[in-house]
Structure 1
Amino acid sequence: MTASVEVINPGDVHTRAKIRAVFGGSPQGGICPSGHKNSVNLYSDPDVGEQAGYYDGWLAEQDDLGPVFEYTGAGKSGDQTFDGTAGSGNRAILRHAEQGRVLRVFTRVGKIPGSGKKTHRYLGMFTLDGMQPYVWRRVHGEDGQDRSVIVFRLRPDGTVQHVAQDVIPPAEETTAEFVAYQAVTAAMFQSEPATTGALPLPKQRVRKGTSGRKATPNAETSGTFVVPEAFGTKLSIRAATAATIAVRHEAELTQAYQAHLESAGHKTGAFQIKVKGLTSTLRTDLYDATDHVLYEAKGSNSREDIRMALGQILDYSRYIKTSEHEGEPKRVILLPAAPTPDMYTLLDRYDVQVVYRSDDGHFVGPVAS
């Protein structure tokens, strides 16, 4: 008879049977929702992850909001998804907050001698990062095939166990890998259909008879988002915070320009960058493989966003090298409206160009044709 466990604290080690007695969930699988316990239990097995081409664990690098635990979604072969039966576990993580559930993370420790039963260590409660809930990442699977996986970014929700053995190993060398352009959808923020129509884009004004480099009033900025984005559905006004509005504007802009490049016959994608000694993985917004151009998109033309974009594109571009093109790529910042003249002056100093979208939806600047 299994002994009862009333409380499980971060750092405690138990079998799955004992964990289920407290937090519910299924007896097998990596993502185990429990409706009656209001929990989504996430089991990580380092050995399985390495064979499948990824690591779960803490990033050694923290940002202003604190530590991040990366957890790779469900699906051991082929591209992972949020759709259908195959994506049910990934949807459970994505929608945990709106369904009133908490995320609980467990990592495999070993086995009970003589029984073969696995033991798992409880790390604590988590929630999805509000600004960047997940990223797409290209990995080399155990079958030798490349595939796209969903990497969830988890933030501690209360006391958690944060120990060195759970930190993702740092990259042994710096690499920059060309990967397919990957869409991120509006589902990352809410799953209900829009009920109040599309959110308005920032107002863009260009004086008649002026060149494309004339300034427009700065649009307000509320946040920054730096992974490939493309929204195909609308957010509801009720669900949209200032940060998600900024993210959506950036995503729509990136999607529109990527479609423009594709319609002109250009091959597009992104670069996935690992830097020696770091545990985090960088990913560029958009790369034009035909003309060797790197793009960094922002959701507003504010000074803050432009300065952020400048730093990012200078950082990323030094890693981008291909056999088809010599030297570093051209650097272009993609904006929803023209920047002020002094921002043009700043960008000219670093040989960074600008493409922006005009009132009529056309792109102005060194655009592909």
Structure 2
Amino acid sequence: MTATVGLIKPGDVRTRAEIREAFGGSPQGGICPSEEKHSVNLYSDPDVGEKAGYYDGWLAEEDELGPVFEYTGAGKSGDQTFEGIAGSGNRAIIRHAEQERVLRVFTRVGKLPGSDTKTHRYLGTFTLDSMQPYTWRRVHGEDGQERDVIVFRLRPEGVVQHAAQDVIPAAEETTAEFVPFQTVTAAMFQSDPATSGALPLPKPRVPKGSGKRKAAPNAETSSEFVVPEEFSTKLSLRAATAATVAIRHEAELTQAYKAYLDSSGHQTGAFQIKVKGLTSTLRTDLYDATDHVLYEVKGSNSREDVRMALGQILDYGRYVKMPEHEGEPKRVILLPAAPTPDLYALLDRYEVGVVYRSDDGRFVGDAVPGAGW
């Protein structure tokens, strides 16, 4: 402990009272917003989380944007929510950028000697992941009951402590669990008054010399060996507006097709997959348990999205097993419009089907129940 309370740096250990003096927030609870200090303080307790069926911490696997810290939302029993009093803390996280507050993460480390006063280690400041701010996860609670929890995906903002003891334990075995489909809430759409506010999104990287000239369609298929571009440009991300629209379109398309499957009497859900040796938890988009069909959904029919969907569904499909069905599921990509003929040929090569929504709103594809409707 140091005597200077006002300056708390990543790695410092403090009591809740000292943290409140520096960053505000309430004396208890896991999610503690402070309007005065422009902060939302997130407290994690490894012992409590493990008993409740989840872990907060760093994922060992990083992506092109860097490390991710997973933090489970508020609500110790039953399904977690963004609604009402029970969801106020979770709304505070979603709205942190809109309300000009930073997310500060603390993890419990022990108690002051000779007292019951808990101590917490400061990890640093974070913001929500721009592409996937949160995900739903099915856990087995302390009472043995299954429930859905909100797992926020946090990205470091500035200097943080990334300690080995804060990494989520790797899965001891590979499991694939059939779980209920969880509807994407207005928080993901960023359209509901209670959960509005633009999430911080990556800035688009524009290659030098790029213009708005419309490219002419190719007369025939050809291939040519070219020198790769700089590594940074290969990892460039879509513009912020396009990313937000893609998320919305994918969610709307998933829900529309699920509603159609439900209306046809099909049982739907998703699969939650943990792979031995990895800390990440995978979740499929949609699964039709009646016909044993696994769907990967994309918000556009672009080449980039179709190729991404192909890789994802080939990866997920090998883990999906149901006792009432033999073998692996039929793999299908769900798109808002038909892909180009050459992409159909690519998908055929890997025995992956396509379902898309036609101009008149019908779903078209050989996996669609009652396709003649």
Task: Sort the TM-score into its range (normalised by shorter chain).
Answer: 0.7 to 0.9
Q: For 2:192 and 2:323, locate their aligned partners in 1 and report how far apart those are by CA, in whole Å.
A: 45
The answer to whether residue 157 in structure 2 is matched with residue 157 in structure 1 is yes
What amino acid does structure 2 have at the position aligned with 1:74?
Answer: A
For 1:279, the equivalent position in structure 2 comes to 279
Counterpart amino acid of residue 65 in structure 1: L
Counterpart Cα distance in 1 of 2:57 and 2:17: 23
Q: Find the counterpart in structure 2 of residue 91 from structure 1.
A: 91
Aligned residue for 1:342, secondary structure, equals helix
Using the alignment, how far apart are the partners of 1:57 and 1:189 within structure 2? 26
Question: What's the counterpart of residue 316 of structure 2?
Answer: 316
CA contact (8 A) 1:223 1:247 kept: no
Superposed, 1:231-270 pairs within 5 Å as 241-270=241-270
Corresponding residue number in structure 1 for 2:291: 291
Letter aligned with residue 241 of structure 2: T
Letter matched to residue 368 of structure 1? P
- Once the two structures are TM-superposed, the CA of residue 4 in structure 1 deviates from its matched residue by 5.7
**CA–CA distance in 1 between the matches of 2:66 and 2:237?**
17
Note the alpha carbon deviations across 1:163-206, whole angstroms, 9 max, x for none.
10000000000000000000112323535549xxxxxxxxxxxx
Which consecutive segments of 4 or more residues in structure 1 shift more than 4 A? 191-194
Pair 187,125 (structure 1): closer, same or farther in 2 beyond 3 Å: same
Match of 1:74 in 2: 74
**Residue identity matched to 1:45:** D
SS of the residue corresponding to residue 241 of structure 1 reads helix
Q: Deviations over 1:291-311 (max 9, x none)?
A: 000000111111111111000
Question: Following the alignment from structure 1 to structure 2, what is the Cα–Cα distance between the partners of residues 337 and 125?
Answer: 41
Q: Any conservation in 2 of the 1:138–1:146 contact (CA below 8 Å)?
A: yes
Distance 1:270 1:245 in 2: 23
Deviations 1:71-113 (A, max 9, x none): 0000010000000000000000010000010000000010011
Q: Is the 8 A contact 2:295 2:334 kept in 1?
A: yes
In 2, distance between residues paired with 1:294 and 1:73? Answer: 28
- Aligned partners of 1:295 and 1:189: how far apart in 2? 21
> SS at 2:276's partner residue?
coil
Q: What amino acid is the match of 2:67?
A: P
Match of 1:127 in 2: 127
Amino acid at match of 1:122: Y
Alignment correspondent of 1:203:
none
C-alpha deviation, 1:223, in angstroms: 7.2
Query: 3-state DSSP class of the match of 1:50?
Result: helix
- 1:111 aligned residue: 111
Q: Deviations over 1:24-74 (max 9, x none)?
A: 000111000001000000000000000000000000000000000000000
Equivalence for 2:213:
none
Distance verdict in 2 for CA 1:98–1:77, change over 3 Å: same
- The 8 Å contact of residues 103 and 126 in structure 1, kept in 2 or not, is answered as yes
Deviations 1:332-360 (A, max 9, x none): 00011111111111111111110000000
Partners of 1:143 and 1:6 in 2: how far apart?
Answer: 40
1:125–1:160 CA contact under 8 A, matched in 2: yes
Give me the CA root mean square deviation: 1.6
How has the CA–CA distance of structure 1 residues 243 and 252 changed in structure 2, closer, same or farther, with 3 Å as cutoff? same
Which whole-Å CA distance do the structure 1 matches of 2:341 and 2:266 have between them? 30
Three-state SS of the structure 1 residue aligned to 2:320 is coil
Secondary structure at the residue paired with 2:136?
A: strand
Q: 1-side partners of 2:14 and 2:321: how far apart?
A: 48
3-state SS of the aligned residue for 1:345?
A: helix
- TM-score, scaled relative to structure 1: 0.86
Alignment of 1:80-229 (within 5 A): 80-188=80-188, 190=190, 192-193=192-193
Partner of 1:34: 34
Change beyond 3 A, Cα 1:193–1:78: closer
Q: Does structure 2 retain, via aligned residues, the 8 Å contact 1:223–1:246?
A: no
2:277 maps to a residue whose letter is G
**Aligned residue-pair number:** 326
Contact 1:95 1:191 survives alignment (8 Å): no
Number of the residue aligned with 1:359: 359
Unaligned runs of 5+ in 2: 195-235
Q: Which moved more, 1:263-272 or 1:339-348?
A: 339-348
Q: Does 1:331 align with 2:331?
A: yes
Secondary structure of the 1:130 match is coil
Gaps (5+ residues) in structure 1?
Answer: 195-221, 225-239
Partner of 1:368: 369
Listed as ranges, the matches of 1:300-315 within 5 Å are: 300-315=300-315
How many percent identity over aligned positions?
Answer: 83
In 2, Cα distance between the equivalents of 1:6 and 1:352?
58
Name the CA distance, whole Å, in 2 between partners of 1:30 and 1:188: 22
State the Cα distance separating 1:134 from its structure 2 match.
0.2
| CA displacement at 1:368 relative to structure 2 | 1.1
Q: 1:296 is aligned with what amino acid?
A: E
Instruction: Give the Cα separation in 2 of the matches to 1:341 and 1:189.
Output: 32
1:52 corresponds in structure 2 to 52
Q: Which moved more, 1:243-252 or 1:174-183?
A: 243-252
